[in-house]
Amino acid sequence: MGRVILDYPAVYATAQKLTTPLVKRTSTQIMSGARRLAPHGDHRSGSGRRKGGRPLASTLTSTLDVGVNIVQARIGATADWAATIHQGSKPHRIISKRGKVLKFQWKRGTLLVKHRSKGRRTQRMFYFEFVHHPGNKRPVRFLTTPMHQFGRANGFVTKSLPVSRSRLP
């Protein structure tokens, strides 16, 4: 009867050498798919003013971690509002802060005021203490869709959590 004694450092080194290029290639494919699916419009507030910061596609980041017995790639977005775009959000109330008011462009309000003013000059901006935000009912799965598509195509088993719209930052 024989006994096999494995050289574990050599086993781990061989596994890393064979799997790292596959994980790197898959994460590159997922990243390019996420950049294509991420919304490319400018991020505007209700007042119509463009919010500062980078577009969502340019906030995508990728890291590759190679450990003793794991090769792992992480892909995500650093924008604080990326989760609401990806997951969606429930309807919620936006309240003004400390004596300030919220300033919005409101197309329907402009039409109502124009109708009541009978042709006189109408205001374009409206001011509120609070507003009811309808939520983001159509999430854009810019991360999970490419993960499932390219992960499965490269032989990985992929899992993601179900859709849950919540109040996200």
- Asked if the model's pLDDT at residue 80 lies above 90, the reply is no
The answer to the question of residue 113 being in a domain is yes
Number of domains in the chain: 2
- Asked if the model's pLDDT at residue 169 lies above 60, the reply is no
- Pair (99, 82) in one structural domain: no
The answer to the question of residue 57 being in a domain is yes
How far CA 136 is from CA of 8, 85, 133, 141, in Å, comes to: 50, 7, 9, 12
Q: What is the pLDDT of residues 115-142, one digit of tens each?
A: 666 666 666 778 888 888 888 888 889 9
Buried b (16+ CB within 10 A) or exposed e, 108-119: ebeeebeeeeee
Q: Give residue 125's domain range.
A: 92-133
The answer to the question of residue 47 being in a domain is no
Q: Rounded to an integer, what distance in angstroms lies between the CA atom of residue 59 and that of residue 57? A: 6
- Pair (84, 165) in one structural domain: yes
- Pair (77, 150) in one structural domain: yes
First to last CA, the chain: 63
pLDDT over 70 percentage in the chain: 83
Q: Higher-confidence residue: 24 or 122?
A: 24
Whole-model pTM?
Answer: 0.74
Q: What is the pLDDT of residues 35-61, one digit of tens each?
A: 999 988 766 655 566 666 788 888 999
SS3 label, residue 11: helix
